[in-house]
Structure 1
Amino acid sequence: MKTLQSTLLLFLFVPLIKPAPPAQQDSRIIYDYGTDNFEETLFSQDYEDKYLDGKRTKEKETVIPDEKSFQLQKEQSVTPPPPKKENDEMPTCLLCVCLSGSVYCEEVDIDAVPPLPKESAYLYARFNRIKKLTAKDFADIPNLRRLDFTGNLIEDIEDGTFSKLSLLEELTLAENQLLKLPVLPPKLTLFNAKYNKIKSRGIKANAFKKLHNLSFLYLDHNALESVPLNLPESLRVIHLQFNNITSITDDTFCKANDTSYIRDRIEEIRLEGNPIVLGKHPNSFICLKRLPVGSYI
């Protein structure tokens, strides 16, 4: 009796049991690695699909060129490129640093001024082995406003070196081996030639006379025997300390025949370290608002 009941129950439940559906075969959906890996897998698969689709599309669009097109391509490939101009190669900017019109050639061991980009406005060539400056160095660089050659070995500068630099405002030649000064450009506001070997005979009588914008003149630590003549009215600072200056006259800074003349722009004159006794020349400073720095006794 019990066997019959079991058999009847089995026939009743069998229709309710359905076979499990087949497993998904899409390799792109993987849940076992967490959310991050799941998104990465989808991205990777999507990238591969797009890459393959694009590759197939490109292959479909590729056509075999006709004979005329092939000949044209061949002629174009054979045609040599136009020759490079010297300035196109910019050799200086490979050795130095060129940035917004400024060229920095500091401590790169050059022994001459390198070719400069035509748009150069500022050149810093400090602490190198440059021995000479020539007119050719800046002939095609008319926009230069500042030159700094501190700490080189410059012994000679051609007179025409700065003749075309009508915009040059600052020229620094400190710590070199100069014995004389070249002709200076007219718009200079600062000239620095301290720590050289310049003697008074190495400065022409009118070297500074026409420099109507010159405000700062640094000629200290040289071998000057006297103060340069015809210093412009525009000067504010004059450094002549540690030279061999032994005397000055009433016309050095003032005007001997004009007691009402006042030189009000000068803020500082330094003459210490020279063998001159300033107290012996009281009339030489009558036009100044401030006495020069130096020995008075």
Structure 2
Amino acid sequence: MKTVQSTLLLLLFMPLTQPAPSVQQDSHVIYEYGADNFEETIFSQDYEDKYQEGKNNKKKVPVIIPVENRFQLQRDEAVTPLPSKKENDEMPTCLLCVCLSGSVYCEEVDIDTVPPLPKESAYLYARFNKIKKLTAKDFADMPNLRRLDFTGNLIEEIEDGTFSKLSLLEELSLAENKLLKLPVLPPKLILLNAKNNKIKSRGIKANTFKKLNKLSFLYLDHNALESVPPNLPESLRIIHLQFNNITSVTDDTFCKSNDTRYIRDRIEEIRLEGNPIILGKHPNSFICLKRLPIGSYF
């Protein structure tokens, strides 16, 4: 009888002595509670051998829900220090444009004014934008500028003092704009390109070119000039005046009527085609030249 009772008691207690089933726990997922918004959970996954044999082998990494204050501390520590005032003043232009070894390239970025330039800038290429006006303030304290290119803008006006203080400026391109006149030009200019504008003869002052003793290349073609600009310097090698409204030239336009021995030996090319002028009617206008101008003679 005792044996039966013992057996029954053993059967009754066996379910109680069985080990509890193990709780499945993913050791790769760690939760740190304390964040107010569950949506702020950061998920981080690292993928290795992503396209090996056409399969993605994903390696699981911890999914962490950070405490709000701890996450804020980490973000603050990662913030990049603010640049100095000098760097900050120059940075916008060099982010919009490309600054490289003293050259600033601002081509086709739709700017409508000249951007602030790094003071060491020697070359500015601001072609094919929407600039309408140039002022003296645009190049204040820019002593190193040697080349400016504003081809293909909408420039209608240039203040007289805009370039006059740029003592090192050698090349200036204002081609394909809407200019009606030329401003005062810097003294060391070697090349001026103002073709494809709306410049008339009254838009060029009598002394505009007189003191430019280094000017070698002058491009004023495709404008509205009625005459050849006066007082062209001896230094000129190339003069492009084609496709204007020039109707006549005088003995003093290129030569000196009072000096028959005068030879203008530096000029290599004068283009006058596309003008309503018959060059053959003005033979004495070219006697000092080594080469006759290009244009119609009959």
Pair in the same fold by TM > 0.5: yes
CA deviations 1:22-42 (Å, max 9, x no partner) are xxxxxxxxxxxxxxxxxxxxx
Matches within 5 A, 1:22-41: none
Aligned partner of residue 85 in structure 2, secondary structure: coil
Partner of 1:59: none
Question: Does the 8 Å CA contact 2:90/2:118 hold for their aligned counterparts?
Answer: no
Cα deviation, residue 85, structure 1? 3.6
Once residues 166 and 214 of structure 2 are traced to their aligned partners in structure 1, the CA distance between those partners, rounded to angstroms, is: 15
Cα deviation, residue 89, structure 1? 4.1
Greater share of helix residues, 1 or 2?
1
What letter corresponds to residue 205 of structure 1 in structure 2?
Answer: A
List 4+ stretches of structure 1 deviating above 6 A. 80-83
Aligned partner of residue 202 in structure 2, secondary structure: helix
Partner of 1:144: 145
Q: In the superposition, relative to structure 1, how do residues 84 and 288 fare at CA in structure 2: closer, same or farther (>3 Å)?
A: same
Partner of 2:208: 207
Partner of 1:260: 261
Q: In the superposition, relative to structure 1, how do residues 195 and 93 fare at CA in structure 2: closer, same or farther (>3 Å)?
A: same
Cα deviation, residue 84, structure 1? 1.6
Once residues 83 and 151 of structure 2 are traced to their aligned partners in structure 1, the CA distance between those partners, rounded to angstroms, is: 40
Once residues 262 and 131 of structure 2 are traced to their aligned partners in structure 1, the CA distance between those partners, rounded to angstroms, is: 44
CA deviations 1:172-209 (Å, max 9, x no partner) are 00000000000000000000000000000000001000
Unpaired runs of 5+ residues, structure 2, are 1-80
Once residues 163 and 87 of structure 1 are traced to their aligned partners in structure 2, the CA distance between those partners, rounded to angstroms, is: 29
Once residues 276 and 263 of structure 2 are traced to their aligned partners in structure 1, the CA distance between those partners, rounded to angstroms, is: 27
Question: Does the 8 Å CA contact 1:111/1:129 hold for their aligned counterparts?
Answer: yes
Whether 2:133 is the aligned partner of 1:118: answer: no
Partner of 2:155: 154
Cα deviation, residue 81, structure 1? 8.2
Question: Does the 8 Å CA contact 1:90/1:116 hold for their aligned counterparts?
Answer: no
Cα deviation, residue 251, structure 1? 0.1
Partner of 2:273: 272
Once residues 283 and 204 of structure 1 are traced to their aligned partners in structure 2, the CA distance between those partners, rounded to angstroms, is: 25
What letter corresponds to residue 116 of structure 1 in structure 2?
Answer: L
Q: In the superposition, relative to structure 1, how do residues 82 and 283 fare at CA in structure 2: closer, same or farther (>3 Å)?
A: closer
CA deviations 1:205-239 (Å, max 9, x no partner) are 01000000000000000000000000000000000
The structure with the largest alpha-carbon Rg is 1
Unpaired runs of 5+ residues, structure 1, are 1-79
Partner of 1:32: none
Q: In the superposition, relative to structure 1, how do residues 91 and 280 fare at CA in structure 2: closer, same or farther (>3 Å)?
A: same
Aligned partner of residue 289 in structure 2, secondary structure: coil
Question: Does the 8 Å CA contact 1:87/1:117 hold for their aligned counterparts?
Answer: no
Aligned partner of residue 90 in structure 1, secondary structure: helix
Once residues 93 and 81 of structure 1 are traced to their aligned partners in structure 2, the CA distance between those partners, rounded to angstroms, is: 16
Question: Does the 8 Å CA contact 1:233/1:265 hold for their aligned counterparts?
Answer: yes
Matches within 5 A, 1:1-297: 84-85=85-86, 88-297=89-298
Q: In the superposition, relative to structure 1, how do residues 133 and 292 fare at CA in structure 2: closer, same or farther (>3 Å)?
A: same
CA deviations 1:48-81 (Å, max 9, x no partner) are xxxxxxxxxxxxxxxxxxxxxxxxxxxxxxxx98
What letter corresponds to residue 295 of structure 1 in structure 2?
Answer: S
Partner of 1:51: none
What letter corresponds to residue 109 of structure 2 in structure 1?
Answer: V
Number of aligned residues: 218
What letter corresponds to residue 141 of structure 2 in structure 1?
Answer: D
Question: Does the 8 Å CA contact 2:135/2:159 hold for their aligned counterparts?
Answer: yes
TM-score in terms of structure 2 length? 0.71
Once residues 281 and 210 of structure 1 are traced to their aligned partners in structure 2, the CA distance between those partners, rounded to angstroms, is: 27
What letter corresponds to residue 254 of structure 1 in structure 2?
Answer: C
Once residues 267 and 255 of structure 1 are traced to their aligned partners in structure 2, the CA distance between those partners, rounded to angstroms, is: 18
What letter corresponds to residue 182 of structure 2 in structure 1?
Answer: L
Question: Does the 8 Å CA contact 2:273/2:295 hold for their aligned counterparts?
Answer: yes
Aligned partner of residue 153 in structure 2, secondary structure: coil
Once residues 82 and 107 of structure 1 are traced to their aligned partners in structure 2, the CA distance between those partners, rounded to angstroms, is: 28
Q: In the superposition, relative to structure 1, how do residues 237 and 109 fare at CA in structure 2: closer, same or farther (>3 Å)?
A: same
Cα deviation, residue 90, structure 1? 2.0
